[in-house]
Amino acid sequence: MDDLEKLKAAVRGKRIHLFGPPGCGKGNRSKDLQALGLIHVASGIALRAKVRDDPDSELSKTARDVMERGGLVPDAIVVPVVMAHLERPECRERGFVLDGFPRTKAQADLLFSKADLDLVLHLEVPRKFLVYGVVEGARRACAACAAGYSDFDPPRVEGLCDRCGGEIVSRADDNAETIDRRLDGYDAETKAFLPDLEARGIVEVLPITVGDDEEIDEGYLKKLRGEVYWVETDDGTKARMLNLDGMRERLYRFLAEKFA
Ligand SMILES: [Zn+2]
């Protein structure tokens, strides 16, 4: 992307929600959007900020109790805390990327009855490629900044994060069984409210596979480290998937067209 400054100006103040299954690259796309100046918001970030900045409120006390016990903070607390977080001056001025929240229809109904969004970006990937990519690709992440890597997207120096130099560790919960279970949960709880968002006309799809007939501009492929890689699953299905650099390029091009 040659016109990065122009793109930063175009997305300033935009309210973007990343939608997609575990393993689709929401973490890395969040980082790409942060690089454009948007504020990263997830439920854990909002809860920790609330507890830190307003420790004596009843909401904070309850949230802290639940989090210390390692429990799931109830919607009645999470939703208002995230909504208040989105109203913070820096989120209003610079815009935000909402990552992994809302997770359930109940949360989505509460959130979207009050909060307006400019874009719900659906990172679409066939389920069989997702399981393959996460498990066979040996997905791993930076312990410091959470940037994601895999055999398809190796760091420049093995074991060290490209972005911050932190240590890269494997994700202990990534095996075929747990991925399957998490994808079942996603289909039942999260994907179930996608039609509600589509009815609002704010959903756009950004596929992370490359169609057979899709031309990839050779000029920018040369700049990428791993270009695209082929994935073949047990049933013999093949697809090309974009790597980290390819997806960033695709995302930035999409945003440039959308918000220009
Ligand atoms: Zn890092």
Residue 161 CA to ligand 1 center (angstroms) comes to 5
Range with lowest mean pLDDT among 45-49, 93-97, 171-175: 171-175
Q: Note if 182 is an active site residue.
A: yes
Band of the pLDDT at 203, cuts 50, 70, 90? very high
Which residue among 50, 139, 248, 250 is the active-site one?
A: 139
Calpha distance 216→213 (Å, rounded)? 10
Q: Per-residue pLDDT tens for 85-142?
A: 999 999 999 999 999 899 999 999 988 887 789 999 999 888 877 777 777 677 888 9
Cα–ligand 1 centroid distance for 203 (angstroms): 30
Query: Residue 142 C-alpha to ligand 1 middle, in angstroms?
Result: 5
* 165-184: average pLDDT: 85
Per-residue model confidence (pLDDT) at position 138: 75
Express each pLDDT in 64-75 by its tens digit: 998 888 888 899
Which residue carries 């929401």 as its tokens? 26
- Model pLDDT, residue 234: 63
Residue ranges of alpha helices (H) inside 137-243 are: 176-185, 194-199, 218-221
Give 3-state DSSP helix, strand, coil % of the chain, rounded to 5.
45, 20, 35
pLDDT interval class at 51 (50, 70, 90): very high
Q: Is 26 a catalytic residue?
A: yes
Catalytic residue among 48, 88, 127, 171: 171
- Ligand 1 centre distance from Cα of residue 100 (Å): 20
**Rounded to 5 degrees, what are φ and ψ at 130?**
-65, -50
pLDDT higher than threshold 70 for residue 218 = no
Q: Which amino acid is at 201?
A: G
Q: How far is the CA of 163 from the centre of ligand 1 (A)?
A: 5
Centroid of ligand 1 to alpha carbon of 167 (angstroms): 7
Q: Choose, from 15, 26, 94, 250, the residue flagged as catalytic.
A: 26
For the question of residue 140 being annotated catalytic, the response is no
Q: What's the gap in Å between 146 CA and the centre of ligand 1? A: 6
* 141 Cα: distance to centroid of ligand 1 (angstroms): 8
What is the distance between the alpha carbons of residues 22 and 139, in angstroms, rounded to a whole number? 12
Please state whether the peptide bond connecting residue 102 to the residue before it is cis, i.e. omega within 30 degrees of 0. Answer: yes
Q: Is 223 a catalytic residue?
A: no
Residue from 182, 240, 253, 258 carrying the catalytic annotation: 182
**Residue 79: C-alpha distances to residues 128, 188, 239 (Å):** 32, 20, 38
Find the farthest-apart pair of alpha carbons in the chain and give their distance in angstroms, rounded: 58
Q: How far apart are CA 145 and CA 167, in angstroms?
A: 9
Q: Which CATH number does 4-38+95-259 carry?
A: 3.40.50.300
**What percent of the chain shows pLDDT beyond 90?**
49
Helix (H) or strand (E) holding 253: helix 244-259
Q: At 225, is the pLDDT very low, low, confident or very high (cuts 50, 70, 90)?
A: very low
Q: Is 171 a catalytic residue?
A: yes
Cβ density class 199-224: b for 16+ within 10 Å, e for less:
eeebbeebbbbbeeeeebeeeeeeeb
